[in-house]
Structure 1
Amino acid sequence: MEKLNVNPNRMELAELKSKLAVAKQGHELLKGKQDELVHRFVDMVRESKDLRARLTEQFSDLYQQFALVGAELSPDFLEEAFLSSGNSANITGSEASIMGVRVPQFDFLLPKDEISYPYSFSYTNSELDASLRKCHRMMQDIIHLAELEKSCELLANEIEKIRRRVNALEFMTIPQLQESIRYIQMRLDENERGNLVRLIKVKNKIKK
């Protein structure tokens, strides 16, 4: 590793040793943060994958239910029935922090626990009611999946940024500082040996 451009003196040596200590401490902290973020990321990816698989299966069942409904009721009636909604809902967004990473949080709020149907029961069948109840139950999971997948994206970006910083410290900054410290120490040792040799020669001349 190429050393830094430094002057071989004790003041420079002390400054480089201080920088090396800070670099090692920063590397340790960043590595710990990276490991924890990776752990959180893996857990969230696993949860997201399971939730997506469950929703995919539910959507498949829901499609089949609506197909049955469409076979018994006219498309015009269904379109008219769904033009007006019997429920209103609110989605509020906020933020949470995961190891300093700001991730979204969504809250899906319904004014009523029970779904209300925007049509008369006299002209529909039970399959349509069951389909709407399934949609009602799925909404919370759909919003949570969006929250998870966006959080995974943000965590992945942060992990990549930290990885680059950790690698820069581990493979460039710290080795350069260590090489520079070795160089200065070697030069100082050489100067001390040279001074010692000169002192011995002077002492020998004085004795003669």
Structure 2
Amino acid sequence: METGVCDWAMKQPIEREYHDREWGRVNKSDRYLFEFLTLEGAQAGLSWYTILKRRDAYRLAFEEYDLSKLANFDEDHVEKIISTYDVIKHRGKISSVFNNARATQALIIEYGSLADALWQFVDHKPVINHWPSMDDIPTSTDASKKMSRFLKKRGFKFVGETTCYAFMQAVGMVNDHLVSCHCHQQVIEEQE
């Protein structure tokens, strides 16, 4: 095994690129956050590689994550997406994107931004972990459980505690790069 990178990113080049350029890096763009709520929800029960290789198709299918467009879509649009785009053909997961867009719009009205609503679970600053091995990294935390309950209460779908933790890792709410990974320190320095 190559040292200096997290084990999960070693299977495919697209995973390695995503790991090195995006994963764990702070992002507070509402569009980006909504994209990752969508992708992490789609990933439930599947490998991250399965989703990552379809990322461009997801962007096309879901209007580049334009909330105002997605909030107006209904069940009829599910069939169009299934027949047109290379996305996971799970009707519930596809339909949830439209539902979650409407729920996100309500959160934005309440909190001012999706970022403010979600980053509150880490006190608006990243949690820096120091994991020596992949076996040490949890699949959920108290914060991800609270986020999941918060989102479900507001009508979101496919936002379980494990999905929420994967989301938190992806958007930089937590730095779960292994301490031996070359990105661990980079991510910390980017935040200073």
Shared fold, TM over 0.5: no
Q: Which has the larger radius of gyration?
A: 1
- Larger relative strand fraction: 1
Higher helix share: 1
